Amino acid sequence: MALLDIKDLTFTYPGRQQPALKSVSFSLSEGDFVVLCGESGCGKSTLLRNLKTVLRPFGKADGTVYYKGVPLDDVSQREQAEEIGYVLQNPENQIVTDKVWHELAFGLENLGVDRDTMRLRVAEMASFFGIQEWFHKDVSQLSGGQKQMLNLAAIMAMQPKVLILDEPTSQLNPIAASDFLNTLAKINRDLGTTILLSEHRMEDVLPNATGVMVMEKGEIAASADPRYIGRILYERKDPMLLAMPAAMQSVYRLERNIPEICPLTVGEGKKWISSLGTPAGSIKEKENEKDLITAIEFKDVWFRYSKNGEDVIRDLNGKIYKGEIFSIIGSNGAGKSTCASLIAGINRPYRGKIKLFDKVGNTFKESLMEGAVSLLIQNPQSFFLKDTVREDLKEALRDRDLSKEEKDSKIEEMARKTFITELLDHHPYDLSGGEQQRAALAKVLLKDSEILVLDEPVKGMDGFLKQKMADILLALKKEGRTIILVSHDLEFCAGISDRCALFFDGNIASVNEPRSFFAENSFYTTSANRMTRHINKRVVTVEDILDLWKKEEG
Amino acid sequence: MEEKRISKRTLVASVFIFLLVPVIIFVGVVFFDDRAYYPISMVIAFLSMAPFFMVFEGRKPRSREMVVIAVMIAITVVGRMAFFMVPQFKPTMAIVIISGFSLGPESGFIVGSLASFISNLFFGQGPWTPWQMFAFGLMGFLAGWLKKLNLLERNRIQLCIFGALCAMFLYGIMVDIASVFMMTSSNVTADTVKATFVSGFPLNAVHALATIIFMALLGIPMIKKLERIKIKFGLMEI
Amino acid sequence: MDKRDSFSGYNPLFLIAFFLFTVLVTMIVRHPVLGAASFSGSLFYLIYLKGKKAFSLVFKIILPVMILTMIINPAFSHKGVTALFYVNNNPITLEAILYGLYSAFMLGAVIMWFSAYNEIMTTDKFVYAFGRLLPALSLVFSMALRFIPRFNSHIRTVSNARRSLGEDLEKGSIMKRIRNGITVFSSTVTWALENSVDTADAMTSRGYGTGHRTTYATYRFDKRDGIISAVVLAAAVCVVIFLARDSLYMQFYPSIEFNPITAGSVITAVLFTIICFLPLIIDFQENIKWRYLTSRI
């Protein structure tokens, strides 16, 4: 018997014509590990939230969800709380108490488990997740990845039968995300817990999954084993193929040598690439631009947050040119975000200086960068001060000498550029994550600065939203603006940047145009590059693979 | 009309606060001799909080309610930390009053008393703690209560006046009396009380001014935010 | 020397009871010997706990309060028979001055006990101590403590966001700065409330409110706690009994008088002194034990 059985589930939000879910049916058996994917706003969260009554949003639902053969409405809250575990997107918001140990015990306390059993279960989970070292810590001392791991552990302590996770890694950096997803696989493998997960990071999750479901506009468009989903999407000509791992994409987009078993990992992809033989095509190389004007120059920059603290930026030197998109990548704590704040003049170096167009600059004595540089910091919600997006955008123009009409038209124009026109009169907190990011960007762009610094602009976004963001950024580049990206998303940086820099230990370890940059790296590089580097090191994206091999036989 | 009625719980708590406390004070003064004003007053302050806490426990608050209360407590404490520049110039009281106004008398009491306890964890606990807890709690309670009786409306001027009165008289007098007890113990005389009020006046005035300013700037917007969240939570009738 | 505090390792319930007893006795009794015991016990323990920081607390807060108390009493109370001099026709009496002095030390001791306890009663001890009696309230307490550092860091984030848009919070007139501060604060309130929806969901989803609730105990009431509780309780009962018999009481008004010294009063004084110094005694004993243990390793 299936553990969860969803039959003809249709769900409509109040005041909407279109249902968010259209007769969705599927079932989950014991031990399944199913990945749910689809474009943002396709109804993934709505579907997942309908699988637990306390999380079900307001609205009209038809059809039935059966849990172990019983309609979910007849399953007691207690049983649901105990057996259906749920991890939400934002690691911060789900933590209820102030101590790690208390958080682990919280669910068990609610179920009225006696102290001895509680001790045992908490101890078990703390060991399984490697939490012992921070067991007595305050939650506020943990990193984002640790917080999400804590959320998972706290739910696992209740020993659920099913684990439902709604984009749990969207707020994490790639290493923490990959850790988290590996732990999930371990839970599924070692404890036999059934898992239903919505996720963008297919590369990390598909090799361990037993099934994939693709959602489209509230319907399940395709559902298959990870090895066969590529073929289905290929036959449907489904754009979701672009969200799949690089190996799978290459296979079905190249439409050559399609193997019986679809490669999912970099290793499998590598084997398949080798089977293609010598490439006949060539990859497009960018032309080197001449007459570069220096927009920003770092000269022996040193920075630390407090007098007795560690240096976060050490001896940073380098140049960023006008009109280029410059990406800064690197691991956590390498000083990337700090570097962004230095460029924006939020922090000032204690030694050295940052020159701007050879004139003004940012030294420890003075900051002359305000106005010339705008920074979009990581948390878009921190830009919202008003009750509607429009009000917030107006706030950005408050000090400008413009008539009301001019301001309004500027706002309209900016909204069009950032694709938020229809959201202008919404409350900023009613927007989705990607929309909030664009609204915050609109606010920053209204400052009309020459130089834009964007800290993690595509965090938590799926491929479609990233493409939207890329379009916005390329349009800005065309206007002649200088854009500095700080990001963990190598694929995104590789596709859009003019130059990439690897930040390590407080300064730039290497910098080059993307092809040469990624050719030098073996770990900090894209999947497409890792798959093909034994044949051609200058491959960066899946498109490059297509260019290399497509033309061989015409 | 239903929701405007004062619930039994509120009534019990009100009786406690307005009747029982003076009775205990009277008993304390008469039956203990002159030497224990402060410990007795401290015990009273604690005891008079007990019914509020028990009522809160007894109605088994839902998680949404608890989250909102915890958020408001944290906001109050953070407010005190954020505006550290000028002594006594704090948004604390304004936020407690707003919480009581929006969340009802009982939740108002919890917000006020716990916020003052927690901020003392950071700023220093002392024999003044129970008094401060009680005074802040009472303020939140009063704001919610007067709202229920329709005596206090969502009106900037009314809220500012109420805030100033609370700061000057309710909180000011209560804490001043407490410090008289604390410092002079059995020597409490009309003179000492008068002197304390006179010397406490400037600080209380600053406090009242701060409350007016913060209430004027934060009051209505914060009430709106709380209303929005109450609608989202389906918490309209707490 | 190792400055680790061992006294705080005892069960929180014992710590709270111990604290209530010392503070209440300090406030109620009136005798220089007991006052001195409580004052010195709390002062030394505070110094042991906080080191140099204890002195700044003593000089910045406690001493001013004590001085104020010393002045206020004789200034307003004119009871007592021994008038030393007159101010505005009001007698300043020896009794009132001594009473002020005594009250000052009493108050100083109480504040120091509170400070010492603020140091050792970490928040999870409160949650443990009140978790059973007031489960909902102690959960709210824990949740609020979870939110505070989060909100503080969000305030910093918003300030940085403002600064990145060229709105510097540290510039401009005072009124502008307050306005700016309020804008940041107000946006933090919105953010906090909006994000609390998820927190509430996470609570309900993990079964909050589905039935009887138990509490996880990070502390256990073990044999060591039982022994110390029994010892302190016995001592405390003796102190209370002897105090109730007024064997140790000082009268200030109208004139200063002591009760005669009896065996009971000596026992009371000794026992109370031991109680007040108990935290330090335990710490020193533990330090010696460790020194012995390390020397054998």
Give me the interface pTM, i.e. the ipTM.
0.87
Q: Which of B67, B125, B126 sits opposite C199 (nearest CB)?
A: B67
User: pLDDT tier at B2 (50, 70, 90 boundaries)?
Assistant: very low
Helices (H) and strands (E) in chain C, counts: 10, 4
Helices B37-58 and B105-123 sit at what angle, rounded to 10 degrees? Answer: 130
Q: Which of B120, B125, B220 to mutate to test the interface with C (most CBs of C within 10 A)?
A: B125
- Measured in angstroms, the CA of C287 and the nearest CA of chain B are apart by 28
Does A129 lie at the interface with C, CB-CB under 8 angstroms?
Answer: no
What residues of chain C, 145 to 174, have a C-beta less than 8 Å from chain B?
145-148, 150-152, 155
Residue contact B71–C114, C-beta within 8 A: no
| Contact (Cβ atoms closer than 8 angstroms) between residue C296 and residue C271 | no
**Which one-letter amino acid corresponds to residue A411?**
I
pLDDT of B238 over the 60 cut: no
> What integer pLDDT is reported at residue A276 of this predicted model?
81
Pairing state between β A33-38 and A360-362: unpaired
Q: Which of A96, A118, A375 sits opposite C203 (nearest CB)?
A: A96
Nearest to A548 by CA among A231, A256, A237, A243: A256
> What integer pLDDT is reported at residue B60 of this predicted model?
83
Q: How far is CA A30 from CA A27, A53, A83, A373, A448, in A?
A: 10, 21, 12, 54, 55
| Contact (Cβ atoms closer than 8 angstroms) between residue C114 and residue C26 | no
pLDDT of C240 over the 60 cut: yes
> What integer pLDDT is reported at residue C1 of this predicted model?
42
Residues 6+ apart with CB under 8 A from C152: B78, B81, B82
Does C67 lie at the interface with A, CB-CB under 8 angstroms?
Answer: no
**Nearest-angstrom CA–CA distance, A466 and A278:** 32
Q: What is the CA radius of gyration of chain B?
A: 18
User: pLDDT tier at C297 (50, 70, 90 boundaries)?
Assistant: low
Chain B residue numbers with beta carbons less than 8 Å from the beta carbon of C134 are 53, 57
pLDDT of C11 over the 70 cut: yes
The two tokens of residue C231 are: 């010892």
Chain C residue numbers with beta carbons less than 8 Å from the beta carbon of A107 are 206-207
What residues of chain A, 214 to 273, have a C-beta less than 8 Å from chain C?
none
pLDDT of C279 over the 50 cut: yes
Residue contact A98–C123, C-beta within 8 A: yes
User: Residue A484: beta bridge partners?
Assistant: A326, A453
Helix ranges, C165-262 (H): 174-205, 223-244
Average pLDDT, chain C: 86
User: pLDDT tier at C83 (50, 70, 90 boundaries)?
Assistant: confident
pLDDT tens track for B146-163: 998 888 888 889 999 999
What residues of chain C, 75 to 134, have a C-beta less than 8 Å from chain A?
123-124, 127
Q: How many residues does chain B have?
A: 238
> What integer pLDDT is reported at residue A357 of this predicted model?
79
Q: Which of A93, A102, A377 sits opposite C216 (nearest CB)?
A: A102
pLDDT of B188 over the 80 cut: no
The SS3 call for residue A373 is: strand
Indicate the class that CATH gives domain B8-233. Answer: mainly alpha
**Nearest-angstrom CA–CA distance, B114 and C137:** 9
Name the closest residue on chain B to residue C134, using Cα atoms: B57
**Nearest-angstrom CA–CA distance, A326 and A312:** 21
Q: Which of B127, B184, B217 sits opposite C103 (nearest CB)?
A: B184
pLDDT tens track for C97-130: 888 888 899 889 999 999 999 889 888 888 888 8
Nearest to C256 by CA among C54, C101, C118: C101
- Measured in angstroms, the CA of B102 and the nearest CA of chain C are apart by 13
Unique residue bearing structure tokens 């129970």: B130
- Measured in angstroms, the CA of A125 and the nearest CA of chain C are apart by 15
**DSSP class per residue in C138-186:** HHHHHHHHHHHHHHHHHHHHHHHHHHHTT--TTSS-HHHHHHHHHHHHH
What residues of chain C, 248 to 277, have a C-beta less than 8 Å from chain B?
none
> What integer pLDDT is reported at residue A366 of this predicted model?
59
Question: Counting beta carbons within 10 angstroms of the beta carbon of residue C245, is it exposed (0 to 12), middle (13 to 18) or buried (19 or more)?
Answer: middle
Upper half-sphere CA count for residue C58 (Cβ side, 13 Å): 19
Does C152 lie at the interface with A, CB-CB under 8 angstroms?
Answer: no
| Contact (Cβ atoms closer than 8 angstroms) between residue A516 and residue A537 | no
List subunits contacting chain C, requiring 3 or more Cβ pairs under 8 Å.
A, B
Residue contact C192–B228, C-beta within 8 A: no
The two tokens of residue A224 are: 């298959």
Does C46 lie at the interface with A, CB-CB under 8 angstroms?
Answer: no
**Nearest-angstrom CA–CA distance, A502 and A504:** 6
**pLDDT, one tens digit for every residue, chain A (554 residues):** 688 999 999 999 888 888 889 989 999 999 999 999 888 888 888 999 999 988 888 888 888 899 988 998 899 888 999 899 999 888 899 999 999 999 999 999 999 898 889 999 999 999 989 888 898 889 988 888 899 999 999 999 999 999 999 989 888 888 888 899 999 999 999 999 999 999 888 888 998 899 999 998 888 988 889 888 888 888 888 888 888 888 888 888 888 778 888 888 888 888 888 888 787 777 777 776 667 788 888 888 889 888 888 888 888 888 888 888 999 988 877 888 888 888 888 888 888 888 887 665 666 555 555 667 888 888 888 888 888 899 888 888 877 778 888 888 888 888 888 888 888 888 888 888 888 888 998 888 888 888 889 988 888 788 888 888 898 899 888 888 899 999 888 888 888 888 899 888 888 888 888 888 888 888 888 888 888 888 888 888 888 888 888 755 54
Chain C residue numbers with beta carbons less than 8 Å from the beta carbon of A114 are 214
pLDDT tens track for C245-275: 767 777 777 788 887 888 888 888 899 999 9
The two tokens of residue A47 are: 């579907």
| Contact (Cβ atoms closer than 8 angstroms) between residue C100 and residue C73 | yes
Does A298 lie at the interface with C, CB-CB under 8 angstroms?
Answer: no
Pairing state between β A482-486 and A325-329: parallel
Chain C residue numbers with beta carbons less than 8 Å from the beta carbon of A99 are 123-124, 127, 142
> What integer pLDDT is reported at residue B236 of this predicted model?
58
In chain C, where are the structural domains located?
7-124+223-296, 133-205
Residues 6+ apart with CB under 8 A from C216: A101, A102, A105, A108, A109, A115, A118, A119, A122
Find the helix or strand (DSSP H, E) in which A451 lies. Answer: strand A451-455
pLDDT of B21 over the 70 cut: no
Upper half-sphere CA count for residue C194 (Cβ side, 13 Å): 20
**Nearest-angstrom CA–CA distance, C188 and C181:** 11
User: Phi/psi at B170 (nearest 5 deg)?
Assistant: -60, -60
The two tokens of residue C8 are: 């705080």
Chain C residue numbers with beta carbons less than 8 Å from the beta carbon of B185 are 103, 106
User: pLDDT tier at C178 (50, 70, 90 boundaries)?
Assistant: confident
